[in-house]
Structure 1
Amino acid sequence: MKKCLFLSRILLCSMVLLFNSCQNDDSPVSYDKENNQYTNMWINEQMRKYYYWNEDLPVFTNLSTDPKDYLGKLLNTDDHFSYSINPADSERSPKSIRSAYGFDISFLEYNGQAFGVVLFVLTDSPAEKSGLKRGQFIKSINGTTIHYQNFENLYLDLASSGSVQLELTEYSSATGFSEVKNIGLIRSFTFSHPVKHEVIVYNNQKVGYIEISHFDAGLAATFLQIFKEFQEQSVSKVIVDLRHNGGGDVSSATALSVILAPNIKSDDVFIKLRGNKNGGLVNQTFKEALEMNESQVSFESLRNAHPSIQELYVLCGNHTASASEIILNNLKPFMNVISIGEKTTGKDAAGFAIEDNRLADKKGWVLCPVIYKLFNANNEGNYALGISPTVELNELQEIEIFPLGDVRETLLNQALSGEKNFRQKKHSTVKKLLLNKNCIDADPFLQIHL
């Protein structure tokens, strides 16, 4: 079988060899190569070898069921992230609103009315090109008015649709709600994740603010340049905005961590991965985790860009997942991490994709199971229910929502003011409507290399 690293390139090739050494030599039952039994037997074999919860796998003898449904019956109740892809059917790949249209959405109630609210828009996305921006309110989706009973179903419909019509309005304290306008979006996959940064002067203090929407591979050079600028301007405080970061490349997240953490050495353990009996325990140092996919910028170069800080402020929320949760959890043994916002997604899992290439003339299914659980150097992990912030603060406290990077914006303003000056608004006129965890747009092991 062909094994390809995904999400966590931090896994060494030697671990694949370790798994392979655990296979038995029993001859498999033979099935017709064109039917579901042939695929499902392969899925069963891979899950029993690699799956984190392999000892709890149920026994299903009905191998004739659809492979996607068959995998679903094998998954542990705590597993929200494993999935499979049939390359012959792209419509069965995991979908999200961000990957389809390029924006993040939440829902709220204001004066007895439910709205969708745009929280984040990707650069060069269908959403941005159509004029969508943070702080706009969605009244209806494809002609259906949003209310308390249907907002979650509308969210799921939006994620799976090929096009959408939105009815929008905006709000400012000076003029109230604007006239309603309609825009249309068409699904596309051509947009980027630029890293935005600036130096903010607040109460005579220079603060380095950096917003990262995704840990794309190869960001080490970008981080190096940004933090050299912060050094040149003598920032004494750093705020990292990860509230809309659903994950990405772990080596990229490691590069940022190497810059931020004070007094670390290249051979300090940064990430611990625990698998089943076949996978065992894998310890990754800062240098090893960095060099798995960031070989162009050295550990020493990144360390030279370290700002003069002993603590870090991180803005987070329920879209914060995977590699961005590593920043929160795995920097804790090395510095004081003050997180502000809401509980994160809780994606404490990693693994690699497994491709069924038994047939030379046909691409087989790709299986993406949870293989490892993630821990920091102090063996702290187990955050499947999310990481609770140091300061719990809902960014939707007021109906007027400011742009990211604006000092009036709720979470940034709190970070600028400091942890000790926390003031939760007691009587907010806005109530957030919570989505089911399975609706959150976190990376579902997206980095598959076939």
Structure 2
Amino acid sequence: MRTFFDWSPVLLLVVCNAFLMTSCKKDTDVTPSGPTSNGEVNNWVLDNMKTYYFWNDKLPANPDTSLTSDNFFLSLLYDRNNTANVDRDRFSWIQASADDLKASLSGQSKTTGIEYNLYYRDQAKTGVVASIIYVLPGSPGAKAGIKRGDIISKVNGESLTGANYQTLLSGSTDTYTYGFATITNGTLTDNGQTKQVTAVVFQEDPVLLDTTYTIGGKTIGYVIYNQFIPGVYKDGSTDKTYDLKLDNIFGKFKQKGVNELVLDLRYNRGGYVSSSTNLASLIGKNIDASKVYYTQKWNSTVTAANNKSRGAGWDTQNFLTKPTNIGANINRVFVLTTGSTASASELVINGLRPFMTVTTIGTTTVGKNVGSITIYDETGRIKWGIQPITFKSANALGFTDYAGGFTPSVEVKEPSYGMKPFGDVTEPMLSEAIFQISGTRMARRAASTEVPQPILGSSLDHKAGGGNMFSNDNLLNGQH
């Protein structure tokens, strides 16, 4: 068995050690040939959940191992359907291919590169549109000329409706012909324009934009970071390309005398804890490797084993000492957030607050104060991968109570349609951050432009568990 950690920030990569011995032995007991049955897979799932699951004391006494493996896993989750309980398990997930799970956690997937939110286009709630929130640079969507703010109303000649949008947007085909609409005076109209895009296996660069602004005597650094990914995924492992890219970006900020920072995490659902630690260590004021970034609470099984084998401090992650840290030049950081801001992103917010003022601008975050590990069968016999919640996090002051999300310091709702390009100083959320920093309004602040219909969903829901990410790569292998 190999474990990976996912809870919003972290890498993942762990081999068997002392407290993994039981599960590892079960893997080697299985002959690595022939198909697996639901029962065999489910027993493997249950064994691992008994060891690592945060709520292992609340597992059902007699789970039905005859269920399909996905439904069996869901049947184990603590209070999953009780929406009144904010501390229930909302985040554990299972995936039929462990290889696909590991790749997606590192930003690699088959994609057109287009990310969107879905809305009803009419009061009758029949028609649906996909409002493009961003397009990955270099992706098929970007090469086709699709951009943030575009509105997709048709796929392969069919208008999107509440009945067909899931099938059309996530069909079995890799090639899509998108039809577009424009909005005029609040009315959406199909414009007859089409663009064809073919999905490919694509490695996402999580840094969408970095730049600086000089406004009102302030030098403002701005970076959009969409997933906590340390580097490029290849041949089963991940390098440090993107962590190093962030180091270089903050090195440029430091050289340019940046004295205010806007960190855009509005679409960041999480990722590797190691990358979260790296980013926070580039920002924090008066921090170094002696200061606590976060601590973790695991179940009694893991806690007892690690207390014995690893001693005090195994559940604590300190900051890193980074030469490109800009904390000496800033007293605060402004973080842009939405309902898609989760996990590792929230860890950064919570972890920095004991050391500096963190002002959030946007809407309330997801509220993922728990983390998980990726578990898969190293023999390859069992193809499934599971991402169970295994611990709860707290900052250096012990604060952990944000299961309801972080309410914004300044509320700004992102427009549903016609969004301005990233980096445009009149874009509502960036504009508000600049005003909070400099007192200068770059654009008139309008009333909410949210459409009256609720959001149906987002393509981000399919990214590496859709907000279920909070990965921790450095606990079981003893790295701190």
Q: Scaled by the length of structure 2, what TM-score is found?
A: 0.76
Matched to 1:107, the amino acid is L
Change (3 A) 1:11 1:106: closer
2:461 maps to 440
Residues 3, 355 of structure 1: 8 Å contact kept: yes
The yes-or-no answer on 1:252 pairing with 2:266 is: no
Equivalent residue, structure 2, for 1:293: none
Residue 204 of structure 2 corresponds to: 192
Instruction: Indicate the residue corresponding to 2:308 in structure 1.
Output: none
What residue in structure 2 maps to residue 131 of structure 1? 145
CA distance in 1, matches of 2:299, 2:89: 15
**1:385-424 CA distances to partner (integer Å, 9 max, x unpaired)?**
4322211211117x53210100010100000001789986
Shift of residue 261, structure 1, vs aligned partner? 1.0
Contact 1:57/1:75 (<8 A) preserved = yes
Cα distance, 1:337 vs structure 2: 0.6
Counterpart in the other structure of 2:18: 17
1:272 equivalenced with 2:295 (yes/no) = yes
Q: Secondary structure of the residue that 1:351 maps to in structure 2?
A: strand
Note the alpha carbon deviations across 1:144-186, whole angstroms, 9 max, x for none.
Answer: 4345x45xx625752454333321134589xx97833122332
Report the Cα distance in structure 2 between the residues aligned to 1:50 and 1:343, rounded to whole angstroms. 30
Q: Is the 8 A contact 2:113 2:141 kept in 1?
A: yes
Tell me the residue number matched to 1:407: 425
**1:381 is matched with which residue?**
400
Deviations 1:326-359 (A, max 9, x none): 11121111111111112223333323222234xx
How far residue 192 of structure 1 moved from its aligned partner, in angstroms, is 2.7
Aligned to 1:296: none
Match of 2:414 in 1: 395
Cα distance change on mapping 1:348 and 1:233 into 2, 3 Å: same
Query: 2:206–2:229: 8 Å Cα contact kept in structure 1?
Result: no
> Is 2:339–2:364's contact at 8 Å kept on the other side of the alignment?
yes
Distance 2:380 2:220 in 1: 56
Task: Give the SS at the match of 2:413.
Answer: coil
What is the Cα deviation at residue 70 of structure 1? 1.2
**Structure 1 pair 432/102, CA: closer, same or farther in 2 (3 Å)?**
farther
* 1:286 alignment counterpart: 318
Work out whether residues 321 and 345 of structure 1, in 8 Å CA contact, stay in contact via their aligned partners in 2: yes
Number of aligned residue pairs: 425
- Secondary structure of 2:200's counterpart equals coil
Please tell me whether residue 103 in structure 1 is matched to residue 121 in structure 2. Answer: no
2:159 corresponds to = 145
CA contact (8 A) 2:5 2:12 kept: no
The reply to whether residue 84 of structure 1 matches residue 94 of structure 2 is yes
Q: Which has the higher contact order (CA 8 A, sep 6+)?
A: 2
Aligned pair in 2 of structure 1 residues 342, 159: CA closer, same or farther (>3 Å)? farther
Confirm or deny: 8 A CA contact 2:11 2:273 kept in the other structure: yes
Structure 2 CA distance for aligned equivalents of residues 64 and 11 of structure 1 = 31
Which deviates more, 404-413 or 187-196?
A: 187-196
Partner of 1:308: 329
Structure 1 window deviating more from structure 2 (266-275 vs 414-423): it is: 414-423
Contact 1:330 1:376 survives alignment (8 Å): yes
1:246–1:323 CA contact under 8 A, matched in 2: yes
What letter corresponds to residue 244 of structure 1 in structure 2? Y
Distance 1:356 1:221, change over 3 A: closer
Structure 1 counterpart of 2:181, one-letter code: T
226-235 or 409-418, which deviates more: 226-235
Q: Decide whether the 8 Å contact of 2:4 with 2:12 is kept in 1.
A: yes
Aligned twin of 1:37: 39
Amino acid at match of 1:169: A
Give deviations 1:195-236, integer Å, cap 9, x for gaps: 221111223432111111222212343223222322222222
**Which secondary structure state, in structure 2, belongs to the residue aligned with residue 47 of structure 1?**
helix
Select between 133-142 and 185-194 the one with higher mean Cα deviation: 185-194
Alpha-carbon distance between aligned partners in 1 of 2:172 and 2:470, rounded to the nearest angstrom:
19
Distance 1:204 1:275, change over 3 A: same
Q: Output the amino acid matched with 2:405.
A: G
Aligned with residue 46 of structure 1, among 45, 48, 51: 48
Distance 1:104 1:383, change over 3 A: farther
Question: After superposition, what is the alpha-carbon deviation per residue over 1:262-294, rounded to whole angstroms, capped at 9, x for unaligned?
Answer: 11131211111112111339532334xx5xxxx
2:194 and 2:98 map into 1 onto residues whose CA distance is: 36
Residue among 227, 246, 259 paired with 1:214: 227
- Structure 2 residues without counterparts, runs of 5 or longer: 81-87, 231-239, 304-312, 474-480
C-alpha spacing 1:97/1:192, structure 2 compared with 1 (3 Å) = closer
Q: Structure 1 110/203 Cα, relative in aligned 2: closer, same or farther at 3 Å?
A: farther
Percent of aligned positions that are identical: 25
Q: Does 1:352 align with 2:373?
A: yes
More displaced 10-residue stretch of structure 1: 414-423 or 226-235: 414-423
- Please say if residues 266 and 285 of structure 1, whose CA atoms lie closer than 8 Å, have aligned partners that are also in contact: no
Q: Secondary structure at the match of 2:44?
A: helix
Secondary structure, in 3 states, of the residue corresponding to 1:115? strand
> Which residue number corresponds to residue 182 of structure 1?
194
Structure 1 CA distance, aligned partners of 2:472 and 2:355? 31
Contact in 2 for aligned 1:239/1:415 (Cα 8 Å):
yes
- Aligned partner of 1:294 in structure 2 is none
Alignment partner of 2:255 out of 232, 241, 258 = 232
User: Aligned-pair distance for 1:371?
Assistant: 0.9
Partner of 2:68: 66
Verify the 8 A CA contact 1:350 1:370 in the aligned structure 2: yes
Secondary structure at 1:380 match in 2: coil
1:411 to 1:301, Cα distance in 2 relative to 1, 3 A: same
TM-score w.r.t. length of structure 1: 0.80
1:361-383 deviations in whole A, cap 9, x for unaligned?
Answer: 73543222111122211222243
1:315-334 maps to which residues of 2 (within 5 A)?
315-334=336-355
1:243 aligns with 2:259: no
Does the CA contact (< 8 Å) of 1:321 and 1:443 recur in 2? no
Match of 2:177 in 1: 165
Gaps of 5+ in 1: 291-298
